[in-house]
Structure 1
């Protein structure tokens, strides 16, 4: 109950006392003394809810007692009084044994002032029983009206009545069985179920009745009126199911019409595709949320529960949760912040007031870093009030700083599971393509100078995906990857001011150092892409691990340089195997081994080249007979460029061995040839000598005559 309404009730109780009339020598109005009322009122008020009739039937049993005492010269009595009841009350009737009546004296926003005529005089020390009845009827109109009485929803305040400083009045509320009842303030005990099926709530005797107000809210589960609609979201069709209470067509019209025009606007603003295959349901409800928010969104069920009195801003906010939920972002503050932001944009486009949460409306002394905002249902209403307002304030600042397009790109990447620190455009080694080491592979103005934007705007490298919905860390990375690098520092300051816990603040320092190292290592590695494990460590904010991996990567790049220099000196082109290992799976195990193999092969080829006889002489040619070092060397060079370092090593070793063996082989062959010649000469001499001996022997046998054959 508001303070003006409470004061009105106290004043009305005093007015009853003013109605006292004294009979005797002097007749005058009686002075009012609040601490000791001359006419005390003790009431028993019953509120009987009649949903089908759209009203609450109120019965006030009044015991009016004249507390004055007659004197020898004066008699006191009361024959009328005044009573203020709830605003919106009607159909008043007053009964008493002698025929009382009631009229409306005045009406205001704080209540209806009734004039009660008792129909008889209450003498000093006497009491009179009266019964006042009236209705609290549902007036219709605004959805957030304080009195709603319908089969689906019951909402009204229950007052107690008494004269000032008079204890003992009571309140009873009777609600039909089947309603879910929520009570505010009061207190009321119950419910108990009576024989007629009424849920009964009772206050018992009240010590201070004039301060008593019970807020009664009850809803009854039941059928809905379904309305299935479709709306174009970009090139896609979004199916939407609206479920309204049968007795609230105004909610259906209000929510349906706003959602149907609001969703396409927010889809264009965010750049996001429609994420649902099945119809998204918008259901009218009485939301019993601890944060007091008039709606709830359940992405798993594909359902937005929107309160019967939700404002346009709340309706659009819940519609924005079709995208901004745990499927797109990980942290509560991110989902709420940007659902509110895009609800504001849609409302502005439609010329509506969003009635957004503002920090100015949050109680003083409530403030916390958004990373500490508890989940829905765990935070207090005051904490939630700050969380909603602060997150929206941050979202506004982010958009103002980076621009709508950068945010749109960040949301699209998040929806696709594409994290920051994407690899750059693929390029081949110098001489094989137009891209040279150190030459940028992205267009100017695409944000590529931000380390997290490596590869932004490129098309020839497949984007890495599979990322989980971004939390506060990944969101900062994504936004910076798509924003102007000049605002990076301001963006980090926003994170420090609104988001980070004090214990998390040092992470931004380590992050800055790691990102600088990453930018340097990216340049050092060009045209190669760094291993994904480095990017994944940065994405996980594991900066120590990322720095260690980048140092390892730099070592491999130095080996790449050594290989390139050695290969160039030999007229060779390094094979792609080292790059493939460096950019592939398990690079820090495979790439060093590959580099070592290539260096070993190059060393052996260089050794073979060094052993090569450039201009073989006659003796060298003698040694080369039967050897093929040139073929071995050519095979080694071919094998190296083909990436077969084992074969290259073997062939180069064979070539070197052949070249080194030539002099020895030549000498051996020369000596062998000389010995053979000498042997042949000796053999010839021996043959001649033998022939000579044979001739001599024949001469000796024939006496010097030639033997004659037959005649």
Structure 2
């Protein structure tokens, strides 16, 4: 179903269909044939002109709806040959629980028979009257009461304290029908049919429609709610504090909602991988979902509106729209499909009862469409039914089989607007609303899912969009080869950007401009691994952050120099730290090999490749002289020590001499 046109503009049309009886206007009229003797038989074109005015007045204090339906019919079936045609009964649909059903014509009560239909919410009242021949007219005034049924009964009609939902109809020729619904002005109004106008008269407001959806007249399910008449409860769960508003006296629904929010919000936070984002203050029980055919998340009022059904999966679906909504996810099929799949996963996790996952629809049905074409403005109920089910099927198949950690990794990235070509959690590069292209990348890259493109071709894309998958496949193969060549590093930023945006021609041009840079990036990492040193952060950044032609070209010089510098520093560090005997160790100390190697390593860490390479080469050159330097130093020390000993002996001889007397 579609949102009424008078919905406030901030209302976010995020909703999930709920089961409701598909009522249809019906006509029960009797056509009889009177033969005229001597004339041949003939088949007649049945014809009946109809004008209907219906008025439904909600009597809140009495807890009932009073309906008056005035119909004027004219026999428009002329005689044919020897056959005359007349009508002797006429019927209107009414809610199955209607009571005090009466029909009068020209001040006379008519016999009325009420019959059930296949729809448990609908009955047909048939009145009998004297024969109505061609050209004759009869006006019938019907009246009945609609008391409604208790919540969660099979009959969808409700009339309770502060709320009501019921069917209204007026069968007749185009331009000859009208329906009026009279409500207390304090009550809200919703209907399955667009086009109701309103006019306030003191304490009541009359809603009027004169055009239906087809030639049968006006038919709609309407709902009314007095927002002041509620039972209220507050609940805190996870990061959310919500107000629950239920029908007066519906304690069972309040307990259900309290338990559902209490278990559901923390579980949703775990599955989605993000804390409660806010933007929701209330969960409200209402009859409007019975009228509209769906529950919804209203961003304008910061509320969830759900029916009386105790459906945990439905509640979790609407709660999940706090994350999966048009502000964060682009494409109705994607945010509805994510909400549905996550809701059922959470329901399974917490052991909550709810509706079963939707059955997979027929992709070849008349209502089928590529899911990217499914819009909020869709008016076809059949298309809505198909698209909700197909969205659930598509997203379910894309994420099927993922373990909890991987499932959350994909879903969390989709909510955060991450690019699959960036590191998990990185929202500093290329953050944007996740749409079908980004989601496919996330499913394949973060989820490791194979066959995702096939799911897209089957359910999601039109012919033109399927053509994009072929270009993507070729670009992805080239990207994978490049990413393999550059080792643990991410490909350059400019290339990641083009892949994120599916600009595959530009991606190919960047790949060509990079030339041997990816392979050189791998060599830098291999050299660092072999040398036992760290790759300079600035070198890695130069590669990963490259974002224009100049940066790509510069890599051709930077990366080879990095290979040389890394290798040289590794060799210098090894040479400076080699095991030595006492003489060689003495020479190494004199030559300051270890401090020089440390200075070269520091220059490498700082990204000064020239200084690192020169310093390392100097260490290597001097390291071979460590032994000879040590020997020379020892000899020099010995020479110095030998000279000192000789000097002492001479001095002693001089001190021992005696003077010879003359």
Give the structure-2-normalised TM-score.
0.61
**TM alignment of 1:103-142, pairs within 5 A:** 107-109=115-117, 111=123, 133-142=143-152
Q: Deviations over 1:550-579 (max 9, x none)?
A: 4526337549969999xx9xx999983763
2: CA distance, partners of 1:188 / 1:583: 61
Q: Deviations over 1:173-213 (max 9, x none)?
A: 3503525555667x998555568855274869x9x99x555
CA distance change for structure 1 residues 58 and 576 in 2, over 3 Å: closer, same or farther? Answer: closer
* Structure 2 counterpart of 1:384: 384
Tell me if the contact between 2:233 and 2:244 (Cα under 8 Å) persists in the aligned partners.
Answer: yes
Tell me if the contact between 1:635 and 1:648 (Cα under 8 Å) persists in the aligned partners.
Answer: no
Tell me if the contact between 2:59 and 2:65 (Cα under 8 Å) persists in the aligned partners.
Answer: yes
Q: State the shift of 1:388 in Å.
A: 1.4
**TM alignment of 1:539-688, pairs within 5 A:** 539-551=500-512, 552=514, 554-555=516-517, 557-558=519-520, 576=536, 579-583=539-543, 585-586=545-546, 588=552, 591-592=555-556, 594=558, 642-643=602-603, 644=608
* Structure 1 counterpart of 2:220: 215
Q: State the shift of 1:396 in Å.
A: 2.5
* Structure 1 counterpart of 2:372: 371
Q: State the shift of 1:340 in Å.
A: 1.5
* Structure 2 counterpart of 1:147: 157
* Structure 1 counterpart of 2:180: 173
**Which one of the candidate residues 451, 454, 476 is aligned to 1:515?**
476
Runs of at least 5 residues in structure 2 that lack an aligned partner in the other structure: 1-20, 35-43, 76-87, 570-589, 619-662
CA distance change for structure 1 residues 300 and 200 in 2, over 3 Å: closer, same or farther? Answer: closer
Q: State the shift of 1:284 in Å.
A: 3.5
Q: Deviations over 1:388-446 (max 9, x none)?
A: 121111123223365655323212344566543456xxxxxxxxxxxxxxxxxxxxxxx
2: CA distance, partners of 1:41 / 1:636: 105
Tell me if the contact between 1:55 and 1:149 (Cα under 8 Å) persists in the aligned partners.
Answer: yes
CA distance change for structure 1 residues 304 and 357 in 2, over 3 Å: closer, same or farther? Answer: farther
Matched, 1:228 2:262: no
Q: State the shift of 1:469 in Å.
A: 4.3
Q: Secondary structure at the match of 1:175?
A: strand
Q: Secondary structure at the match of 1:6?
A: coil
* Structure 2 counterpart of 1:400: 400
CA distance change for structure 1 residues 52 and 417 in 2, over 3 Å: closer, same or farther? Answer: same
Matched, 1:48 2:61: no
* Structure 2 counterpart of 1:283: 284
Tell me if the contact between 1:143 and 1:308 (Cα under 8 Å) persists in the aligned partners.
Answer: no
Q: State the shift of 1:261 in Å.
A: 4.3
2: CA distance, partners of 1:632 / 1:346: 66
Matched, 1:239 2:241: yes
1: CA distance, partners of 2:155 / 2:487: 67
Q: State the shift of 1:301 in Å.
A: 6.2
Tell me if the contact between 2:517 and 2:555 (Cα under 8 Å) persists in the aligned partners.
Answer: no
Tell me if the contact between 1:151 and 1:220 (Cα under 8 Å) persists in the aligned partners.
Answer: no
**TM alignment of 1:485-524, pairs within 5 A:** 488=450, 490-524=451-485
Q: State the shift of 1:115 in Å.
A: 7.6
Q: State the shift of 1:328 in Å.
A: 5.3
1: CA distance, partners of 2:265 / 2:65: 39
CA distance change for structure 1 residues 420 and 41 in 2, over 3 Å: closer, same or farther? Answer: closer
Q: State the shift of 1:546 in Å.
A: 3.7
CA distance change for structure 1 residues 363 and 304 in 2, over 3 Å: closer, same or farther? Answer: farther
Tell me if the contact between 2:103 and 2:111 (Cα under 8 Å) persists in the aligned partners.
Answer: no
CA distance change for structure 1 residues 647 and 506 in 2, over 3 Å: closer, same or farther? Answer: same
**Which one of the candidate residues 351, 359, 367 is aligned to 2:361?**
359
CA distance change for structure 1 residues 363 and 216 in 2, over 3 Å: closer, same or farther? Answer: farther
Q: Secondary structure at the match of 1:57?
A: strand
Aligned length: 534
Q: State the shift of 1:242 in Å.
A: 1.6
Tell me if the contact between 2:245 and 2:285 (Cα under 8 Å) persists in the aligned partners.
Answer: yes
Q: Deviations over 1:3-26 (max 9, x none)?
A: 99735x324xx79x99xxxxxxxx
Runs of at least 5 residues in structure 1 that lack an aligned partner in the other structure: 19-32, 67-79, 424-455, 457-462, 606-629, 655-711
Q: Deviations over 1:341-368 (max 9, x none)?
A: 23334556434433636525x9932333
Q: Secondary structure at the match of 1:397?
A: helix
Q: State the shift of 1:545 in Å.
A: 3.8
CA distance change for structure 1 residues 379 and 274 in 2, over 3 Å: closer, same or farther? Answer: farther
Q: Which range is displaced more, 581-590 or 503-512? A: 581-590
Q: Deviations over 1:221-242 (max 9, x none)?
A: 53244321123xxxx4543322
CA distance change for structure 1 residues 53 and 276 in 2, over 3 Å: closer, same or farther? Answer: same
CA distance change for structure 1 residues 144 and 537 in 2, over 3 Å: closer, same or farther? Answer: farther
* Structure 1 counterpart of 2:657: none
Matched, 1:476 2:495: no
CA distance change for structure 1 residues 137 and 547 in 2, over 3 Å: closer, same or farther? Answer: same
CA distance change for structure 1 residues 289 and 505 in 2, over 3 Å: closer, same or farther? Answer: farther
2: CA distance, partners of 1:563 / 1:192: 77
Tell me if the contact between 2:164 and 2:287 (Cα under 8 Å) persists in the aligned partners.
Answer: no
CA distance change for structure 1 residues 324 and 592 in 2, over 3 Å: closer, same or farther? Answer: same
Tell me if the contact between 1:633 and 1:651 (Cα under 8 Å) persists in the aligned partners.
Answer: no
Q: Deviations over 1:269-317 (max 9, x none)?
A: x353432357642234465899x55122246865323246696553332
Larger Rg: 1
Tell me if the contact between 1:313 and 1:356 (Cα under 8 Å) persists in the aligned partners.
Answer: no
2: CA distance, partners of 1:595 / 1:247: 75
CA distance change for structure 1 residues 321 and 10 in 2, over 3 Å: closer, same or farther? Answer: same
Tell me if the contact between 1:226 and 1:241 (Cα under 8 Å) persists in the aligned partners.
Answer: yes
Tell me if the contact between 2:565 and 2:612 (Cα under 8 Å) persists in the aligned partners.
Answer: yes
Give the structure-1-normalised TM-score.
0.58
Q: State the shift of 1:252 in Å.
A: 4.0
Q: State the shift of 1:645 in Å.
A: 5.7
Q: Secondary structure at the match of 1:49?
A: strand
1: CA distance, partners of 2:190 / 2:136: 40
* Structure 2 counterpart of 1:340: 340
Q: Secondary structure at the match of 2:275?
A: coil
Tell me if the contact between 1:636 and 1:649 (Cα under 8 Å) persists in the aligned partners.
Answer: no
1: CA distance, partners of 2:541 / 2:522: 12
RMSD: 5.7
Tell me if the contact between 1:160 and 1:169 (Cα under 8 Å) persists in the aligned partners.
Answer: no
* Structure 1 counterpart of 2:98: 89
Q: State the shift of 1:337 in Å.
A: 0.9
* Structure 2 counterpart of 1:435: none
Q: Deviations over 1:150-194 (max 9, x none)?
A: 4644433345599xxx99997663503525555667x99855556
